Structure 1
Amino acid sequence: MLKIIILISISVINCVLTTEVDTKLKMESNGIVPDVIDIAPSKTIEISYPNGSKVSLGNELTPTQVKDQPSVKWEAEEGALYTLLMTDPDAPSRKNPEFGEVRHWLVVNIPGNDLAKGQVVFAYIGSGPPKDSGLHRYVFLVFKQNGKVETTVSVANNSRDGRVKTKTRDLIKEYNLGNPEAGNFYQAQYDDYVPLLHAQLGGAPPKAN
């Protein structure tokens, strides 16, 4: 019996270590380092959409699958506050990221991983990659805060105000954050839902030169 428990414990530890290595390597191999951040996190954010779709280190999802706000979980320290960011560095395309990064979601002052108790700075919007722009990377990052973040910004999910031409590195400086604690990402390209999202945001996005 003891032997079985030891073998199970070793298996669980190996699984956790493999996941941590995969997160870092996947973010590095997909260019999130250095396009978005300098150092990739080793821990993984669990992200599940209401329709059952899950984010899994670069898997391809459709804009239709990710149109609604997902549930998000990560390993949190008791008593700590966290920032959650979702960003697209590939606007209007990965080859020509003239308008990247686009800020899709930003929540600050999250106690532990209780997202519902955090302060929404940018309300969630799903993926809206332009037609024929190829795959875009949608990157989720969690940062542990050094105290409470003070901000009065509050952007609804029907507005592009302040979302375009943002930088994760600027956010890190503004909020005095360190390297991300955890991360995950998916990739998406155009489908028939995209025009509906653009209409919700007030029309088609700006075109690249």
Structure 2
Amino acid sequence: MRLLSAVLVALSLFLTGVRGNHTSRTCIFQTLSDSDKDFCRGDLEVIYPDVGDVSCSYVPKCHGYRRRLSREWGSPHIRYSWAEKNKKYVLVMVDPDAPNRANPRHRYWRHWVVTDILGTDLRNGKVKGHVLSGYVRPSPPPHSGYHRYQFRLYEQPAHKHIALSPEEDASLGSWDLKGFVEDFGLGHPLVKTQFLTKYYED
């Protein structure tokens, strides 16, 4: 009888372990809350390896995705299927929640700015152009909560040369995004999206 009980306990523990491992393999991609989802407009895809398109979603912690996003992965593929082949575009990626969403005194932290992107490349998910600000991985500080990483795509005015000022170039934080857009007549973004993530150990 004792042997049978021991076998049943061992079997129960084994099955619990199997179920636990099965659960850990399940990776749930949550869509954003309504207030954050409202920012997303149009069909702009932000594609990282293994994860795929993270537009308008939370980056999950499972499979080390948040850690890899912050430590390993390079710039994402950006795809906009409706880009016009003969036009050029400007891509801007910023964090409006630096150092945290409750006190964003360093908004808009500049993570990536590329101009002169051809519509044909955007259709294929490639960002080729003139890099004004090199890609900086999303790396929210510990215990700072979720950060929004926003992508805005603008149509570039014909024959317009776009550049950062020396002052802008000297610092990534507290970037005057509105002033940049107005200075070069970019108008409203054609499409925009964002994803949310936080420090990978939180």
Give the alignment's TM-score, normalised by structure 1.
Answer: 0.65
Q: Who is 1:7 aligned against?
A: none
1:99 aligns with 2:98: no
Measure, in 2, the Cα distance between the counterparts of 1:78 and 1:171: 25
Measure, in 2, the Cα distance between the counterparts of 1:53 and 1:117: 20
Q: From 157, 163, 175, give the equivalent of 1:166.
A: 175
Q: Who is 2:63 aligned against?
A: none
SS in 2 for 1:30: helix
Aligned AA for 2:142? K
Residue by residue, what CA displacement relative to the aligned partner does 1:124-154 show, whole Å, maximum 9, x if unpaired? 1111111100000000110011124424559
Q: Who is 2:138 aligned against?
A: 127
Q: Who is 2:190 aligned against?
A: 181
Change (3 A) 1:151 1:85: same
| Residues 87 and 140, structure 1, Cα contact 8 Å, conserved in 2 | yes
C-alpha displacement of 1:191: 2.0
SS in 1 for 2:53: coil
C-alpha displacement of 1:41: 6.5
SS in 1 for 2:100: coil
| Residues 81 and 111, structure 1, Cα contact 8 Å, conserved in 2 | yes
Measure, in 2, the Cα distance between the counterparts of 1:105 and 1:132: 24
The residue correspondences of 1:1-209 to structure 2 (distance < 5 A) are 29-30=35-36, 42-61=41-60, 62-65=66-69, 67-74=73-80, 75-114=82-121, 115-151=126-162, 153=164, 161-191=170-200
Q: Which runs of 5+ in 1 are unaligned?
A: 1-25, 33-39, 193-209
SS in 2 for 1:43: coil
| Residues 53 and 65, structure 1, Cα contact 8 Å, conserved in 2 | no
SS in 1 for 2:113: strand
Change (3 A) 1:139 1:127: same
Measure, in 2, the Cα distance between the counterparts of 1:108 and 1:31: 26
SS in 2 for 1:64: helix
| Residues 90 and 136, structure 1, Cα contact 8 Å, conserved in 2 | yes
| Residues 84 and 106, structure 1, Cα contact 8 Å, conserved in 2 | yes
Q: Which runs of 4+ in 1 moved over 3 A?
A: 151-155
Measure, in 1, the Cα distance between the counterparts of 2:152 and 2:34: 14
Alignment RMSD, CA only?
Answer: 2.7
Q: How many residues align?
A: 156
Bigger Rg, structure 1 or 2: 2
Measure, in 2, the Cα distance between the counterparts of 1:167 and 1:182: 20
SS in 2 for 1:117: coil
| Matched-pair identity in % | 29
Residue by residue, what CA displacement relative to the aligned partner does 1:131-189 show, whole Å, maximum 9, x if unpaired? 1000000001100111244245599xxxx833110132122112210111111111011
